[in-house]
Structure 1
C-alpha cells in the first residue's frame, strides 16, 4: 500500500463523523473532475462465480493476466491486505473536439480510434488525480493506508463500481450511469478507512439489446457476457498475433478499439463531454487517413503516439491493424500503392496481413 511510514490507523469516533468524512472526500473528488464517487466494502462473493465461469470458458483469450492472480481480483483484501473499503470513481473522457464516431466508421478510408484513446494516456491522468485525492485526505485527517488503481492491477472494476452505486453493468459489460452514459474511465482507491458504504443503484437496460445487435463480430454472446476473443478491442489491442481470418473483414476501419456498443447505447444521449484537457484529441487521432497512418515510420509512430495509450501496442501491431483497415477499404490506387510498399516488410506479421489485404482487393476487382 502507498502510505506514509508506520501509519496510525484513523479512529472515527462515530457514524456522524464517518459520514461527514465520506461527504468531504466526495466533494474533493468532484473538485478534481471525477463525475461520480461511491464507497463500498470488499465483499465480491456475488461477482466471483461469474468471473471464474468467464475464465473457464476461455473468454479472456490471450489475456493470461486475467487468470494468473487467482482470487486476488475478486477479493480486494487478498490483493492489498488491510483493505476495508474501496472508493470507486469515474472520469468522463469523451472529447468535445472529436469527429463524430458514426461519420468516421462510415468513411472507410479513415482510421477509427476508440474515443478513449484520442488524447493522453488515461492511466497516468487517473492515477495522478487519485493520488491528489489521497494526499488531500492524509493532509487533512492524518496518515492512512491506501493504494490507487487505474486499470492497472487485478481489480474487478465494474463489479466494485456497481456495488458502490457509481452505475450499473450494461449488457455490453461496461458500466452505465443515467446522468453520464458510459464514456468514462473507472478508478479505485483501496483503503483501510472505515467509511460508510453506499447502496448500489438500480439497472436500467430493460429489454434493450442494441449493443448486442450492433456488435460487428458478435462478441457479446449473451446479455452481460463478452467473449473477448471476438471483441475488436481485444483483437486490435490485447491480441499480439495474427488476427483470425474470419474476423478481419468484420473489423472494418477500426484500427484501435471499438465503440459501436457505446455509440448505439440510448443512455449515451446523456453523456457528458470531458473537462479534462489531457483527453482532448491529439495528432488528429480518430479521423486520420488509413493510407497516411500506414506510411508512418517507426520514429513517426513513436513521436505521434508519445503519451498516448496507443503507444503501448507498439509499431508492428499498429501496422497490422492498419493493414486490416486497408484491406477493408474501397479499392483505389492509393490503397494498393500503400499496401504494395509494405509487401516485403521485414516483419512477418505485417507481411501476412498486407498479403491478406491485397488479396481482398484482388477479389473486389474480379
Structure 2
C-alpha cells in the first residue's frame, strides 16, 4: 500500500519510482528523527506555527488530507541558508527544487495519515516505515544531523551561533550544542534546588474549583497493578473532530485487515473498562486463528503530575490489559509488553493520552 502511494505521487509529478522512493525515505528519516522530537515534535511545531487545522486533517486520514503549499513546505523543511532537508534531497537526486518541494508536499500529509491510523502518534514505527526511514538516514547523512542540532538548541541561542557555524565551521559548529547543554544543566540545577520534599501526584486533572473531600483525589497515584495494553494504532476516526472517551472505555477497530484495540482509563487509574470482554472478542478470535502473530501492548499517560509515577502508571495499565487478554483466552506467551518511545502526551487531549494500545504483530 505504501509503495503504491509513493509510486502514484512520483508519477503525478514526473519523478521516477526509485527517486520517489528515495524522497519518501529521506522525508521519513527526517520526520521520525528522535533528535528533533520525532513525529510528535514535528506536529507540535506545526501547531505552534498556526497550522493546527492542517495537522488535524492529516491524522488518521490517507484519502483527502489538506496539502501544504510550496511556501509552507519550504518553511517546514528548507527555508533559510543551506536549504536543510530539501537541499539535501535536491543534491542527492539531482532534481529541481520545485519538483522536490511538490513531491514532499504531496507525500507529507499522506505519510502522517498512514503513521496515525487511530489519529494519534504510534509508540513503535511499523516495520515498513522503520525500514524506509533507516534507508533515508543513510541518504541524508550529515544534513539530517545538522537539522537535528539546530532544532534542539533553545530559540534564544540559535540565530547567532548557527550563522557562525555555517560561515566559519570548526568550533563554531558546536556552539549551539554547547550553549544548549549549559542551559539544560543550569535548568536542572535550578529545579533541583527548588524541589520540595512532597512527592508530586500522577496525572493531576485540571479543576476550576477545589473538589470536595469525598471525590476521588486528583493527586492519588494509581497503585493498583492492573494489567494493561500495548502499542497499536487504532483505526482512523470517522472525522478529524472525533475525540477519545472521557473516561474508562474500549474502542475496537480494523486497520490493514487486522483488529486493533485502544483501551482508555480514568485519571490515575489502572482498572480496565468492563466492556473489554465484548470489545476484544474479534481481536482474541484473530489471535486464535493466526498462530504466527502476537498481541503487542503499550501503555501511555497524560502529561500532568509526576513523570516517574506516570511512567509506572503506564506500565501498570499495560499489565492490566495483558491480564485482561489472558483472562479472555489468549495464552500469556502470545502477548508482548512493549514500552513505547514516547509514553506521555501522545493524544490530542489528556483523555486520549490515558490509554493502552494493542496491535497485532507477526
- What is the TM-score normalised by the length of structure 1? 0.24
- What is the TM-score normalised by the length of structure 2? 0.25
More helix by share: 2
